[in-house]
Chains A and B, each alone.
Chain A
Amino acid sequence: EVQLVESGGALVQRGGSLRLSCVVSGFTFTSHWMSWVRQAPGKGLEWVANIKEDGSEKYYVDSVKGRFTISRDNARNSLYLQMNSLRDEDTAVYYCARDDFYNSCLDFWGRGTQVTVSS
């Protein structure tokens, strides 16, 4: 059974930092791109970043470029999102998701972790 479990969400002050983690199981982690997607309160889904199987390519939505860093540890079946210089608008539930690169969709997701940025 494919499982993705996020952790690390918290209440953090504006300008602060946070590191999210996602541990996966039930599939070959090294065979898949991985993504982070977020949903702000009362808003829709927004793709945040993704990373290639070996970590050699990374892409970000414009609003987080230079502030967020996606990474992975294939030995630990883990995906990470380092979030710096947090803003109020980064408040959201953050989901870890597996990229189905062939079909260009996200075929498995975690339950998400809540990040709240407060002054």
Chain B
Amino acid sequence: SYVLTQPPSVSVAPGQTARITCAGYNIGKRSVHWYQLKPGQAPLLVVYDSTDRPPGIPERFSGSNSGNTATLTISWVEAGDEADYYCQVWDSNSDPYVFGSGTKVSVL
């Protein structure tokens, strides 16, 4: 099955930029989606199709995808961005929704 690897944690100061990577073989050929999870809340899709934002998601959230790494970038980080973030791809050869291992973003 397809494996997606994320760093366990990323720390960033308010106002700075957080970059969360998602590594997978030739992931640049796939659409990558990113979710934000906060305790007690519904998970939120923040980027889909590698670079697009759903309605209502701030422009501070952006995505890129090339080669073997996809990246979620959070610019001008705010305290409210503190959460776990998961990447996800569709895999027709195994379980349809494959998630990364997740990254905890801490705002210092």
Contact = CB atoms under 8 A, between A and B. Distances in A.
Contact of A103 (B48, B98, B102): B48
Nearest to B88: A105
A47 B4 CA distance: 14
* Main SS at interface, chain A: strand
Interface in B68-98: 86, 88-90, 95-98
A107 B45 contact: yes
A35 B97 contact: yes
Given A45-B35, A50-B96, A107 B54 contact: yes
B97 A47 contact: yes
A4 B41 CA distance: 12
- Sorted nearest first, the 3 A-B pairs with minimum C-beta distance are A104-B90, A47-B97, A105-B33
